[in-house]
Structure 1
């Protein structure tokens, strides 16, 4: 079975890498996909995010890296034949944000969502926090 791990990955964090590694143990193939929204300005170019994801997955033979611009997540899933979306959740606020999207993806295209709880040692990490700290030259 194939699964999709979508996100902005702006930047890729240890938390993302942990979820990706755990998902790779559960599925025959995991496609990690940089989702691009033209209405948002990314901190890192999509090409750099793709390169960082490829580097993070070099030892995961069942992981491929891709990107998707425009259109819905379910459009991408339909186009490449994926029925399961992986989402990492750090806490209740993440789940509150993710649940409506999971329901909509199921209603629109029958795409299921599998939530993977963040490793407690990494749950405090977010791309926004990593960027804020790195801008202070503290990383």
Structure 2
């Protein structure tokens, strides 16, 4: 019997409570879940891959079947092949996300027909929250403590504190 391995890839800049919810939920679907901090060439990053990896690892210590890797500069399908993963986990907050995510899934299917994409809907309490929004709120001294882990909130506040 083969293990079911999934990849959950994202830029995670920063990781949000919504991302962590998807990690926890998808960890129950697979024997092994690989969380990959990836490159999105249309984004400017605030955190290094090492920082993002540590933020995630600190929050999921209890999930023994989850590993966090640096996927910088790699295609998700290549990572899936490398880790023998048959599934890609993608999350959606809204209908707009569906259009975007369906496009990504289609390209991934062309790149590797053996890999299936699984879509998980965001929990309603995270459905309108994005990393970009969180950075914007933090920049103007808004309270983000309920949107991200405490370590992320502290670091964002430090880096974006409005003078």
Whether the TM-score (by the shorter chain) exceeds 0.5 is yes
Q: For this structure pair, what is the TM-score category when the shorter chain's length is used for normalisation?
A: over 0.9
Instruction: State how 1:97-136 maps to structure 2 within 5 Å.
Output: 97-110=100-113, 111-136=115-140
Secondary structure of 2:7's match?
A: strand
Q: TM-score, normalised by structure 1?
A: 0.94
Q: 1:69: how far off?
A: 2.1
Q: TM-score, normalised by structure 2?
A: 0.81
Consecutive aligned runs of 4 or more in structure 1 exceeding 6 Å deviation:
none
Measured against aligned partners, the alpha-carbon deviations of 1:89-129 in whole angstroms (never above 9, x if no partner) come to 00110010010110111121122110000101111111011
Higher relative contact order (CA 8 A, sep 6+): 1
**Higher share of residues assigned strand:** 1
Q: Structure 1: 5+ residue runs without aligned partners?
A: none
Q: Which of structures 1 and 2 has the bigger CA Rg?
A: 2
RMSD of aligned Cα (Å): 1.3
Does the CA-based 8 Å contact 2:37-2:71 persist in structure 1? yes
Q: Structure 2: 5+ residue runs without aligned partners?
A: 144-163
Secondary structure of 2:71's match?
A: strand
